[in-house]
Chain A
Amino acid sequence: MMMTDPKNDMLDDLFAEARKIAPEPSEALVARVIAEAIPPQTVSAAGRRGLATRLLEMIGGWPAVGGLVAATLAGLWIGVAPPASVEDFTATWFGDPVAVGLLSDDIAFDTGLFADG
């Protein structure tokens, strides 16, 4: 029969107890590990951006907004004081124009800018 060393028995028992340990990683630890793997801009930057910023990006940023503003102002200008060529064109295709005065005559004609011909 083989003799056992009590010192080794204790040690083997301690090893066996240690091997039973299988801690589940906490959610916080998992989050920290994944945060180290994924660069912050891909995780949080998108989440932090507001609706206005994302809409702005969808239409192409500030240069596109500049273009939209210019086109809107031009449309308004043409609507208020159509040049002769536009009036002739619309008269040809749609009949006589109907003039709607949005500005007072004083303002519109004192400048002399809107006189056609």
Chain B
Amino acid sequence: MKSAPTVSQQMPDDALLVAFANGDTVAAQELTARLLPRVLAQATRMLANQTEAEDVAQEAMIRLWKIAPDWRQGEAQISTWLYRVVANLCTDRLRKRRGGVSLDQIAEPTDDTPGAVAQIQTQTRLKALSDALAQLPVRQAEAVALRHLEGLSNPEIAQIMDISVRSVESLTARGKRALADILAGQKAELGYDDD
């Protein structure tokens, strides 16, 4: 049987943030439970590295706590703000990664079971995708990640990136073409040569 939701569980994100700014520590716990999984998922998809993704997720949440006293309820959505912060933090890290030979960093499988091999292949593919994102101009990488990794609509991305929908369309189209070209040479490595 599910227990009845508490008052804080029923409050919208921005009301919780205002409550937190006024000293309600339960609100911080509820916001963490509600927002951290999505923040961590976005960072993990872009970076394909657990440690880096956790660092980014923590930093994004710290920024949320810091902005809480100045948050104007109803003016912006916390989810939109967080998408922007996480995308920016991730592209900062991707930029620093440029030039590195990343596929070598994926561990060789320690056992030969199909599950373990498949898991390593998935990690290798996601790391390759993340490294390819790192080769794109920052705005293209952000737009492509929000569109194709987060599955957001172009108007939502336009709001997050504070640009027009037409600009989003252009950035995602160019970004996707560039990504495809970068990854084309790794087809065999990524296990796509048998179709």
Contacts and interface: CB of A to CB of B under 8 A. Distances in A.
Contacts of A22: 37, 41
Given A5-B180, A37-B32, A23 B58 contact: no
A54 to B, nearest CB: 21
Given A8-B180, A11-B183, A36 B58 contact: yes
A71 B45 CA distance: 70
A97 interface: no
B122 A30 contact: no
Interface stretch (A13-21, A62-70, A98-106): A13-21
Interface in B111-139: 122, 125-126, 128-129
B57 A7 contact: no
B32 A7 contact: no
Contacts of B58: 29, 32-33, 36
Contacts of B150: 19
Which of the four size classes fits the interface of chain B?
35 or more
Interface string A1-15: 000010110110111
Nearest to A11: B180
Contacts of A33: 32, 36, 57-58, 61-62
A57 to B, nearest CB: 21
Given A11-B183, A18-B149, A37 B20 contact: yes
19 contacts: A7-B180, A7-B183, A10-B183, A10-B192, A14-B125, A17-B122, A19-B150, A21-B41, A21-B126, A23-B41, A23-B44, A29-B58, A30-B36, A33-B32, A33-B57, A34-B28, A36-B65, A37-B65, A38-B25
Interface of A: 5, 7-8, 10-11, 13-15, 17-19, 21-26, 29-30, 32-34, 36-38, 42
Interface of B: 20, 25, 28-29, 32-33, 36-37, 40-41, 44-45, 48, 50, 53-54, 57-58, 61-62, 65, 122, 125-126, 128-129, 148-151, 176, 179-181, 183-184, 187, 190, 192
